[in-house]
Chains A and B, each alone.
Chain A
């Protein structure tokens, strides 16, 4: 046992030493979370605001002007252009100068009284579903406003109550998920490359000739990255709180516990990749092959519920899916891991299976 620990320690310390000297990788450990957090936190905003819009008001009544003013007040649209008719709106839409066009017909006042006919028209650039969604939202708002003045039937039917994120800030949803995305990228990539690099540089030829055991080699390689992963989690958490005011409503140790599980799952996956890839380039490609579906299917970008059944089954295989549920639960809803035993089990199974696969695939022979 002590002999085993000496060898494990040797590989571990060697790895840390090499990491310290590899300034590029070392920079990536801190740089990737920083840059990604800034990018995603500030740039990705699913609350659509300030869509460029054009208006064709052929009614020119106080009511129609009030409608335009109300629409602008929602901040969903910014009215850039005022034109004469719907044809011009269509042209602007086609040229991409506006995303939304408001058309108010000359008989706007009469139409308002007629429940059968729409009073006005919203032309939306449907190629972007987000714009379309925003336009629908706008239509809803407008109906409430205008009919309240003239029509008795215009009471709002549903009142939407927003839990957990009353200000509807995207960062709240994105930052916890981002912990998972960044860990997926860095953890899988680092370990995948770590062993392939030894093979490429010829170090492995020496190692397989020594009494070192496969499990010692594997654990010695991944343990340093566990620590690195936890450092990254801390960076994202701290910045998320400082810059975006993202709360941690559950216990902090629960966040780290979930992260630890997730890191383990990613590192063991990295090991599997390293046993399959022949060059560092291949290892990187395989990592991205895994990384993209993780981002798209895990519920980080798109709501899980909206995906087709097959995609949902597929995403259940991805560790990120389970981690995102766990971390959003802990950070935003104040849940604990005990509330989500299914997700915990999924990650444990994933890590166990991949580690076994990696150890059995890695061979100390050249056969």
Chain B
């Protein structure tokens, strides 16, 4: 019960007919941390989260979530977890207080503390002024704060967030992450799925998912260190020809264009990679500046998902 991990899974698999949405996922989510699932749409993020909440029965494999076995008694688990859906799923035609009151009763919050708890959530999530406002008239950021306030109303030790920031502006996203860190400081474990690199970078640990499998996992630092590639930045006035020249070169894992710059991933095994790239570009008659740079999470992601994609 008092394991160091809020979630542990072994070979968790889910098939829908012939399609394998989640393929033998082994997961260890430490308590009081933010664990991120990074992956494109259809990579199995939501399916994994749904299995861990007991909404979907695994086709294979098991998990322990807060000490509860999965598959097992999902109802006992539900009182202890909070879940924020991808789409706003509170009632649009109820106001903020009514929505929170409804959730409070669904979780059977004690009468004595119910009122105070709702007030505290309104305060914390900056919804005091909106308390009488109907949800369908609120902005994306306000709705998201309301959804988080509802998901944490019963103070669950484990929180699942399924792409929580897909409908909000950058400032709201920043604020949202501040509140997540505050929750973690109070001991909450958070599992969040996202396809934003900057969000993934903020997680304590993360797993990169590709076609239902974890293709890389660890802390962001571990992921950078474990990268099997060198990142070069090529600055040029002729990115098109430069790209063509690099594509024909061996051991180039990926080329991504960012305006007038190209981000080039070269296999680590290649010796003196910057010089090779320079000479290849010079041979093609392209004037360019080439220099090694610090890897970003996007590089890790591209490398992890590309190499997997190349497999048969």
Contacts and interface: CB of A to CB of B under 8 A. Distances in A.
B89 A206 contact: yes
Contacts of A366: 50, 55-56
B75 interface: yes
Interface of A is mostly: helix
A307 B78 CA distance: 53
A9 interface: yes
Nearest to A365: B55
B53 interface: yes
Given A17-B94, A18-B91, A7 B56 contact: no
B18 to A, nearest CB: 17
A365 B58 CA distance: 11
A117 interface: no
Nearest to B160: A209
B308 interface: no
B13 to A, nearest CB: 14
Given A10-B102, A212-B106, A202 B55 contact: no
B79 interface: yes
Contacts of B75: 211, 213, 364
A161 interface: no
Contact of B57 (A6, A206, A212, A367): A367
A208 B56 CA distance: 11
A202 B107 contact: no
B35 to A, nearest CB: 19
Interface residues of A, number: 28
B78 A209 contact: yes
Nearest to B88: A202
B89 A208 contact: no
Contacts, number: 73
B56 A367 contact: yes
B148 to A, nearest CB: 13
Nearest to B77: A211
A203 B106 CA distance: 13
Contacts of B56: 365-367
A210 B106 contact: yes
B89 A211 contact: no
A17 B92 CA distance: 12
Nearest to B84: A206
A22 interface: yes
Given A18-B91, A207-B106, A364-B75, 17 more contacts: A7-B106, A7-B108, A11-B106, A14-B98, A202-B87, A203-B89, A203-B90, A204-B89, A206-B85, A206-B90, A209-B83, A210-B78, A210-B107, A211-B75, A211-B107, A213-B75, A366-B50
Q: What 9 A-B pairs have minimum CB-CB distances, sorted nearest first?
A: A10-B105, A206-B89, A209-B83, A202-B89, A3-B108, A202-B87, A211-B78, A210-B106, A205-B85
